[in-house]
Chain A
């Protein structure tokens, strides 16, 4: 078999010039690509196309606020770098800090998690919730697209052959909401792939009507789910149990979990119900979470 070239650019400019000429697979952390292309112990992974290693490009490592106050995260930032940086929104930090093993989190990048376009990816949930955009760069220039549009469907992204994801821009943060929620159900606390993860946020008007409500769920269909139509059911109104059930039923129609659908549907219902009913009580803390004894999964709760 003919050996394919491997490119190792030192700057973003160089990387974009390569991308413009050659159909390469960009490889940063390697946590998805090195695993999906691995052979067996001691053997070098085999790729179907030439690879371009971009792990250490300094231009992709920055986290900063732009002049609009939006959080801009370099495509090459790792999960640990995001989890540790308080400039990054809370939901995203939660997801980043519970993604795989520590050693993997020091390699895995946010752009890789998006480009992998897995419905079980950890970061798309918060990114959908907060209307995040990807910045796509090429020698032709830059363009931006909502993450929720960029991920077209299972394992498919809207990336032109000469483009590279260079930045993720998140316009909202926990500061824009009164109450926030993020819960990942995994088979264990660490190293777990998401069984289901629900992210939520709500803001109230002075008269107790809902100014903004958002909910996204991962691992509940071919891609991460969010629907503004469902959220609009409760926006502008006061939270009531009846309205909460309407939101739950409408969101249930949006999601399409394949494996263990009853479990995933019930867990999603419970998390929405809990978040809306708790935030309606207007507690002091900002984070609404599951408490001990409350089951999001439908498992029997231990007696107190």
Chain B
């Protein structure tokens, strides 16, 4: 059964007519070309498909698009275009945080969500902040360091 669904995507109002039970990740990738949203486990555990739902990090593989009606979604495409997002992306590149890259969009979302709530996190707080994002290449250390770097470079920006 198709229904008209309207929501805000990366700051812009969008609408589509579709099955409300389609998964958010599928709509974002197929209908709005947000290919940065990656599918890993399909069970909400690996964090590769992370997006911000009304500002909160969620896994988009377990959310039906009907639940996004009237709500606000930010994907990696939107986040990396913001000043804060750019700081994280640059810190990840400079800090050597990326190997295969599949988990990185989700990691950037997790770092953005963490630093927006905790501008100056400790090592443990960073590890907790990315505990829902699985990476099979890096061993996490360089990601943790890069998030420290983003916190330092952003400074007061994270408090705004």
Q: Which residues of A contact B (CB under 8 A)?
A: 3-6, 8, 27, 29-31, 34-35, 38, 40-42, 44-45, 47, 51, 53, 55-56, 80, 100-107, 189-191
State A47–B59 Cα separation when bound (angstroms): 20
Question: Is B36 in contact with chain A by the CB < 8 A criterion?
Answer: no
Per the CB 8 Å criterion, the residue count for chain B at the interface is: 39
Tell me which of B23, B42, B44 contacts A100 (CB under 8 A): B44
Question: Is B50 in contact with chain A by the CB < 8 A criterion?
Answer: yes
Given contacts A8-B69, A30-B67, contact A44 B59 (CB under 8 A): no
Q: B19 and A8: CB pair below 8 A?
A: no
Given contacts A3-B1, A51-B21, A53-B66, contact A41 B56 (CB under 8 A): no
Q: Which 3 A-B pairs have the closest CB atoms?
A: A101-B132, A190-B131, A103-B59
Give the nearest-CB partner of B131 in chain A: A190
Question: Is B126 in contact with chain A by the CB < 8 A criterion?
Answer: no
State A191–B56 Cα separation when bound (angstroms): 18
Tell me which of B46, B71, B132 contacts A56 (CB under 8 A): B71
Which residues of B (27-62) have their CB < 8 Å from a CB of A? 30, 39, 42-47, 50, 53, 56-59, 61-62
State A56–B68 Cα separation when bound (angstroms): 9
State A105–B47 Cα separation when bound (angstroms): 12
Q: B20 and A103: CB pair below 8 A?
A: no
Residues of B within 8 A of A4 (CB): 1
Residues of A within 8 A of B67 (CB): 27, 30, 53, 55-56
Q: A107 and B1: CB pair below 8 A?
A: no
Question: Is B3 in contact with chain A by the CB < 8 A criterion?
Answer: yes
Residues of B within 8 A of A3 (CB): 1, 19
Q: A189 and B131: CB pair below 8 A?
A: yes
Q: Using an 8 Å CB-CB cutoff, how does the interface string of B73-110 with A read, 1 for contact, 0 for none? A: 00000000000000000000000000000000000001
Q: B26 and A42: CB pair below 8 A?
A: yes
Q: B132 and A191: CB pair below 8 A?
A: yes
State A8–B2 Cα separation when bound (angstroms): 12
Q: Using an 8 Å CB-CB cutoff, how does the interface string of B1-33 with A read, 1 for contact, 0 for none? A: 101000000000000000111110010001000
Q: Would you mind naming 11 contact pairs between A and B with Cβ atoms under 8 Å apart? A: A6-B1, A6-B64, A8-B20, A27-B64, A30-B62, A34-B61, A35-B43, A42-B30, A44-B21, A53-B66, A103-B58
Cβ distance B131 to chain A, nearest Cβ, rounded Å: 3
Residues of B within 8 A of A47 (CB): 21
State A56–B23 Cα separation when bound (angstroms): 16
Q: B57 and A103: CB pair below 8 A?
A: yes
- Interface hub of A8, A47, A80 (most chain B Cβ within 10 A): A8
Residues of B within 8 A of A53 (CB): 20, 64, 66-67
Q: B57 and A102: CB pair below 8 A?
A: yes
Q: B1 and A102: CB pair below 8 A?
A: no
Question: Is B129 in contact with chain A by the CB < 8 A criterion?
Answer: yes
Cβ distance B13 to chain A, nearest Cβ, rounded Å: 17
Residues of A within 8 A of B30 (CB): 42
Cβ distance A68 to chain B, nearest Cβ, rounded Å: 31
Cβ distance A292 to chain B, nearest Cβ, rounded Å: 15
Cβ distance B66 to chain A, nearest Cβ, rounded Å: 4
Residues of B within 8 A of A80 (CB): 56
